[in-house]
Amino acid sequence: MRECGRCAGLWVEVAAFEKICANREQQSGVLGGASPAPPHVLSAEQKIQYAPCPQCGQLMNRINFARCSGVIVDVCKGHGTWFDRDELSAIVQFIRSGGLETSRQKEKNEIEFQRQQLRMEEMVAANRANSLGFYHGDEDRVSGLSAAGGLLAFLLD
């Protein structure tokens, strides 16, 4: 980790950030060492700027940590993450409050929803093909009925 004395930002390399996310002792170190800073509010005149990675110089991507934390960080996928003042502490608090688990569950729910949508589209296509006479035999009909039965069972559970 490297700290900027001018803006109180932190550069954390990939491996160090993974340890912080996974280890409560590391998280305690982040929370315990953080001194409260006056709130920093972005004025209307200040534009959001993409920052270069301190290691490779390429512009970093701005992402919402875990897609739902509300903490926007600058990330260089290969090298690390830049945290503006208080962002690392906010992320640790997010993790400790169960935010990562909530994010993972939302992601699982979205994947399951997409699977259901795909199954439904497959059934609609199969029904369309059936009504147009595209089925080539009983095997196709049984497959379509099985998919429909599986979807109904899933929806009713």
**Whether residues 89 and 126 fall in one domain:** no
At which of 97, 114, 132 does a domain end?
A: 97
At which of 55, 72, 97 does a domain end?
A: 97
16-28, pLDDT tens digit by residue? Answer: 888 888 877 656 5
Considering only residues 30 and 69, tell me which one the structure prediction assigns the higher pLDDT: 69
Given a cut of 80, whether residue 2 has pLDDT beyond it is yes
- How confident is the model over 103-123, as a mean pLDDT? 91
pTM of the model: 0.58
What is the rounded distance in angstroms from the CA atom of residue 154 to the CA atom of residue 41?
Answer: 47
**Whether residues 80 and 146 fall in one domain:** no
> What is the structure's pLDDT at 140?
56
Given a cut of 80, whether residue 62 has pLDDT beyond it is yes
Given a cut of 60, whether residue 154 has pLDDT beyond it is yes
**Domain region containing 10:** 2-97
**Whether residues 139 and 89 fall in one domain:** no
**Whether residues 84 and 109 fall in one domain:** no
Cβ partners under 8 Å of residue 8, min gap 6: 37, 85, 86
